[in-house]
Structure 1
Amino acid sequence: MHYGMPPGYRHTDHTYYFTASVPEYDRIILRKASNIKDLACAEEKVLWRKHDTGKQSIHIWAPEIHYLWGEWFIYYAAGDIDDIWAIRPYILRCKGSDPFEDEWEEMGQMKAAEEDDFSFRDFSLDATVMEHKGDYYYIWAEKTGVGKKISNLYIAKLQAPNRLSTVQKLLTTPDYEWERVGFWVNEGPAVLKHEGKIFLTYSASETGSAYCMGMLTISEDEDLLDPNNWSKSRIPILRTDEEKGIFGPGHNSFVKSEDGKKDLCVFHARCYDEIQGDPLYDPNRHTMIIEVIWDEKDDPVFQFENKL
């Protein structure tokens, strides 16, 4: 699978679903399979195509498929052909119960809470949704500042699939040098739960070989909307390994193995470092999978040696 930004999802019927940015950045696709490795050669269906003009007409990025409130949704980002970096988050809803066969409809742009004057006013993308104790939380990247802006991660509760119920809370900003190569970036959040803890992985720096993954951790009993309850890893949890030929690993998702016993990390990376031109438009970020290993403290360990 030669796509960037690879959200994978395993439904309750044990079907794996895969969607991702396509090299042309012009449509949203979906694959499905009962075995995760079969996604590589599974039929690919186009669910939606970009608009010809105006909003959602360029840079269709980072779709994620989620099953929420008993319905299927895809969260994605899109730009405006007249302002190509006016990237904002949007939602599709499946009109039926089968995300692969049934029709999808637009729900428009994600809406902030009424008292929130800041969310989705600038470059916003890479949204994910997590369920916790009966509530849904929306986590996304958004740029702030002037000039060469900074991409931070924010969190808020969802009131509905397309609206937040709380104001944004800042989870992480690029603090370390490894998050500040080329651009100051935190983006691509993904959630993994294990033994009473919640782990939030994210991607950092520009999208070439410096691209890497960091992680935040919180106890499941803490208030997720209090940034002080989250701890941040001082070093990347996954980064370029030249000897293994894996460059710029990032923007991942987590799924269970077929037997439900293993946690798998699905991410994208390049197999080479020499990129001509803008790395953003280099189409050869490949989808890869590694098994997550748990150490004696029940913290995740990410190693390329565990590649499937």
Structure 2
Amino acid sequence: MISEIKKAANYILCYTRMPQEDAIYSTKLAYSMHLAYSEDGIKFQALNHNSGVLFAKATENENGSLNAKSLKNPYIFRMKDNAFGVIAVRTEPDGENDSQSKGSVLLFTSSDLLQYKEIGLINLKNNAYVNDVACEYNEEMRTYIIRWSDESGNYYKNSITNITNLEDASIPEETEAFVIDIVKSDIEGIVPRNVINVSTQIAHRIACKLTVPTNIKIEIPRSVKVTSKEDLKNVRATAIYSDGTTALKTIDWNTGEIDWNKEGTYRITGTIHQDHYEFPIAINRADPCSIKWNGKYYFIATNDADENHTLYMREADSIPELVTAEESLILDSDTYDDIKNLLWAPEFHIIEGELYIFHAATTGEFFCVESHFMKLKKGGNPMCAADWSRPQRIVKKDGTELCEAGKTISLDMTVFEWGSEYYVCWSQRQFLPVDLGAWLYIAKIDPKEPWKLISDSVIISKPEYGWANNHTFVDEGPFALIKDEKIFLSVSSAAIDSTYVIGLLTAEKDADLLNPNSWTKGNYPLLTARSVPGEYGTGHNSYVTDDDGIVWNLYHARPGVDAPRSSGIRRVHFDIDGYPVLDLTEEKDLNSQLANVSINIII
């Protein structure tokens, strides 16, 4: 019997799911490995919103196009170095047999069951399609035993000393049937696989990373010395969350009974401040972006209300006030001869003290969409269209156009500074002679001439995973968040329907950002239609930091499967590793029962 469940304190169950309707949870999403956690080996809690955490990579054709792949029957096992291995049957995206995987099984390795490395296909020296598979490391024999069955119901086993040497498996031997202990669970759609015992430390880490934290405690000083209301405003509460992380919160104090001219000790009450945002904050507004410039906050987004023919901007003294601020027209598709149709994904960027808007525009046809920029004139008013320069195309370092019009499009260009150098990152899609899907590119720019690349462009991401090629092969919408000497680059993937998602690329301090190997792509998206009830197709986000140092995530989603793309905003939390958490809803961010506080102030 394979992997007999032992009595221990921490269990991880791997499983796949039954597909649902295509707009909710398609085959490309369901046929991935999911994880659940249990302390008793009986009752399991789905992790990551019951969404996949491990997807098979697409294969690449000679012409550069990708073939989506899925997986079935994953099996987690311990490797001889105490790391984890996952063995699975690779399939076509709909779960059917994959001819490229005939006689082979797919191997992944992981140190923590969170980030995985796809090693490749283990050759089982047999020409049959594999139906089921399991693997264990035999310590006495110092070898791995792979047990598998074919579609005809025949059972085999192979041995392999070094499982990452994909061609080193022995000739298969016929053997008796193997049985995997199946856990009964009420997790929606579950197709359960095996359970593995893990250490408390690993279990805690998996649960923290794959569960949205919840506010469980509020701490404030017992007393504080102040001399004015301004001093009191600087007193912060510390919100403590279920995963041990914290966040500072401002407090709205009741100061009516304080005589600021009279020394003494006063007992006052207050309420933890929380800005409230109903979703959506802007209907028919996609790809939202906000920035603070010269003491004011600004908001801009793609306008779906008129089929993307205009760009409107809002101005306010604070981020909450942007929700109800009036809009001013900044750009339309009638003013200029070379801007005649689609206007997409505007982003604010400050480069050496100058304000720019980077956006996509076209001379008319969809296949001529290219990255453009506008610059605010010196002393100009951002809300005045006349104070913005004529849109201009981004060009390569030799001055030629970034893409060949009619064959390749570019869009969603973003800008960030890293190590005193400036970079642009954008999405680019070749349609002719063959559609390659949308890939992410990066290059350096000169801040004096930010419309011109000063390096060759480099590919850093392709839509390899099922969540990124669901309905279409797209990686787009990059936006950088820099924190604790790491750069987090959000990426939006798949079709812009109800299954649109946000993934993450990460690079470390001192990394060469023009080296694709410097970037680590998460195996699963951070934000999906399963992350927050009632929000479908979450994607194309940006970040803005307010006056209190709080980072906000602006994104678009649909308030229904077929509803229009609309903008939302949510506080960005940071998890146990300092990585962004994008699905911390207001009720989890602050427990309303803990919101009322009191303190002694000494004047």
Q: Same fold (TM over 0.5)?
A: yes
Q: Secondary structure at the match of 1:21?
A: strand
Deviation of 1:241 (Å): 2.5
User: Which of 203, 221, 236 is the aligned partner of 2:492?
Assistant: 203
Q: Answer whether contact 1:91 1:109 (CA < 8 A) is retained.
A: yes
Deviation at 1:174, TM superposition (A): 0.5
Q: What amino acid is aligned across from residue 303 of structure 1 in structure 2?
A: D
Q: What residue number does 2:108 align with?
A: none
The Cα of 1:242 is off from its aligned counterpart by 8.0
1:280 maps to none
> Is contact 2:500-2:537 (8 Å) kept?
yes
Aligned partners of 1:14 and 1:258 also within 8 Å: no
Question: After the TM superposition, which parts of structure 1 deviate over 6 Å for at least 4 consecutive aligned residues?
Answer: none
1:93-242 correspondence runs (5 A)? 93-97=375-379, 98-101=381-384, 103-114=387-398, 119-121=402-404, 122-144=408-430, 146-159=433-446, 160-241=449-530
Q: Deviations over 1:123-147 (max 9, x none)?
A: 1100110012222111100003644
Which structure 2 residues correspond to residues 259-298 of structure 1 after superposition, within 5 A? 259-260=548-549, 262-274=550-562, 284-298=564-578
Contact 2:479 2:490 in 1 (8 A): yes
CA drift of 1:107 comes to 4.6
Partner amino acid, structure 2, of 1:191: A
Distance in 2, Cα, partners of 1:105 & 1:242: 40
Partner of 1:90: 372
| d(CA) in 1 for partners of 2:309, 2:492 | 23
Amino acid at match of 2:375: R
Contact 1:257 1:263 in 2 (8 A): yes
Decide which structure has greater strand share. Answer: 1
Q: Does 1:4 align with 2:286?
A: yes
**CA–CA distance in structure 1, aligned partners of residues 331 and 562 of structure 2:** 33
Deviates most, 26-35 or 141-150? 141-150
Matches within 5 A, 1:39-118: 39-51=322-334, 55-81=338-364, 83-97=365-379, 98-101=381-384, 103-114=387-398
> Pick from 281, 303, 307: which aligns with 2:583?
303
Shift, 1:294, TM fit: 1.1
1:21, distance to aligned residue in structure 2 (A): 1.0
Structure 1 position 220, deviation (Å)? 2.4
Counterpart residue identity of residue 154, structure 1: Y
What RMSD over aligned residues (CA atoms) do the two structures have, in Å? Answer: 2.1
Which TM-score applies when normalising by structure 2?
0.47
How far the C-alpha of 1:256 sits from its partner, in A, is 1.1
Q: Aligned partners of 1:246 and 1:176: how far apart in 2?
A: 22
Amino acid paired to 1:255: V
Q: CA–CA distance in 2 between the matches of 1:79 and 1:155? A: 21
Task: For residues 218-238 of structure 1, give each alpha carbon's deviation from its aligned partner in whole angstroms, at most 9, with x where no partner exists.
Answer: 112211111111100000110
C-alpha offsets along residues 135-184 of structure 1, whole Å, 9 cap, x if unaligned?
21111000036444310011101121211111101110001011111110
1:152/1:287 CA distance change after superposition, 3 Å: same
Cα deviation, 1:15-52, whole Å, max 9, x if unaligned, reads: 22111111221122211112212111112111222246
TM, length-normalised to structure 1: 0.90
Q: Determine which structure has more spread, i.e. the larger CA radius of gyration.
A: 2
SS at match of 1:6: strand
Aligned equivalents of 1:174, 1:119: Cα separation in 2? 21
Q: Deviations over 1:218-277 (max 9, x none)?
A: 1122111111111000001100038711000000101113311x21111000000036xx
- 1:26 lines up with 2:317 in the alignment: no
Q: Displacement of 1:55 after TM fit?
A: 3.1
Aligned length: 296
Unaligned runs of 5+ in 2: 1-281, 590-603
What letter matches 2:332 in structure 1? R
Of stretches 92-101 and 165-174 in structure 1, the one that deviates more from structure 2 is 92-101
Unaligned 5+ residue runs, structure 1? Answer: 276-283
Q: In the TM superposition, what is the alpha-carbon distance from 1:199 to its structure 2 partner?
A: 0.2
Counterparts in 2 of 1:14 and 1:52: CA distance versus 1, 3 Å: closer
CA distance in structure 2 between the partners assigned to 1:5 and 1:205 by the alignment: 15
Say if 1:213 and 1:250, in contact at 8 Å, map to a contact too. Answer: yes
